[in-house]
Structure 1
Amino acid sequence: MTEHPLHATVSQRGVLFGPRGEILVVRRASDGGWELPGGRLGAEEGALAGVRREIEEETGLNPEVTGAVHAFAWRNDDDDGRFAVYYSCSAGEREVRLSHEHTDHEWLPADAAVERLSGPQGNAVERALDDDPAPGF
């Protein structure tokens, strides 16, 4: 048994592939940082429904969610627990309608998306590109 279990907020993000294989990244309004679209899972909300809802709310896109590719746990600067699950997703269109949470977006090639994102989110992009992304997950 773990002596100090993590009590955490759960967030879910999508590695969202566009019709030409590019990946969507969005710029946070709060601090200008770049991230994958997604957000917090609601109480009693199914995981896939939650990630779909968050991506739709933030981008106006209707994603197809393929499956989980990466997960990561950490403590933020306020020492609050966080747990994120990243999913491989696809969108049939590129027309993004951003919510108030974001100020900009870009569709990037995978290598540029990895460079633009934080370590765990960049890792999620790399895992989504793998043929068999979830072994050992």
Structure 2
Amino acid sequence: MTERPLRATVSLRGVLFRPQDDVLVVKRATDGGWELPGGRLGAQEDAPEGVHREIREETGLDVDVRRPVHAVSWRNDDDNGRFGVYYRCLTSADEVSLSHEHTDFDWLSPRTAAKRLSDVQGKAVRRALEEHDR
């Protein structure tokens, strides 16, 4: 049994592929770090609908949310619990319209995207690519 159960905010992110198999990464306005698009799940919100909403708000893209490819929990620097779920997503568009939360974006090969992202998000990209290759 876990000695200290995790109480966590739920974060949903999309590993978003366009037809050329490139993955979208976005640059945070707060610290300049790169991440996959997504955000927090709202109360009473269905998870796939939440990731769809977050991606649309952050990028302006309409996406097809597929299945989850990775889930992970952690504590941030302030010792707050986090639980992240990463979904494989598809889009036929590549015209991104960023929200105020991000300053830049890039469509990258999955391998390059995985290197630019944190280890956890890079792992989600690799798992989404494996799902694609099946």
The bucket for the TM-score relative to the shorter chain is over 0.9
Give 1:122-137 correspondences, 5 Å limit.
122-131=122-131
- How many residues are paired up? 133
Q: Secondary structure at the match of 1:130?
A: helix
What residue ranges of structure 1 are gaps of 5+ in the alignment? none
Q: Letter of the aligned partner of 1:62 in structure 2?
A: D
1:12 aligns with 2:12: yes
Q: Corresponding residue for 2:66? A: 66
Query: How many angstroms apart in 2 are the aligned matches of 1:105 and 1:5?
Result: 36
Q: Letter of the aligned partner of 1:101 in structure 2?
A: E
Normalising by structure 1, report the TM-score.
0.94
Give 1:69-88 correspondences, 5 Å limit.
69-88=69-88
Runs (4+) off by over 3 Å: none
Give 1:1-137 correspondences, 5 Å limit.
1-131=1-131
Residues 61 and 93, structure 1, Cα contact 8 Å, conserved in 2: yes
Query: How many angstroms apart in 2 are the aligned matches of 1:131 and 1:121?
Result: 15
Normalising by structure 2, report the TM-score.
0.96
**Per-residue deviation at 1:19?**
1.8
Residues 42-82 of structure 1: per-residue CA shift (max 9 Å, x gap)? 00100000000000000000010111000110000000000
**Per-residue deviation at 1:10?**
0.3
Query: How many angstroms apart in 1 are the aligned matches of 2:131 and 2:17?
Result: 15
CA RMSD for the aligned pairs?
Answer: 1.2
Residues 27 and 102, structure 1, Cα contact 8 Å, conserved in 2: yes
Residues 19 and 94, structure 1, Cα contact 8 Å, conserved in 2: no
**Per-residue deviation at 1:2?**
3.0
**Per-residue deviation at 1:132?**
7.7
Q: Letter of the aligned partner of 1:53 in structure 2?
A: R
**Per-residue deviation at 1:4?**
1.4
Once the two structures are aligned, what percentage of the paired residues are identical?
63
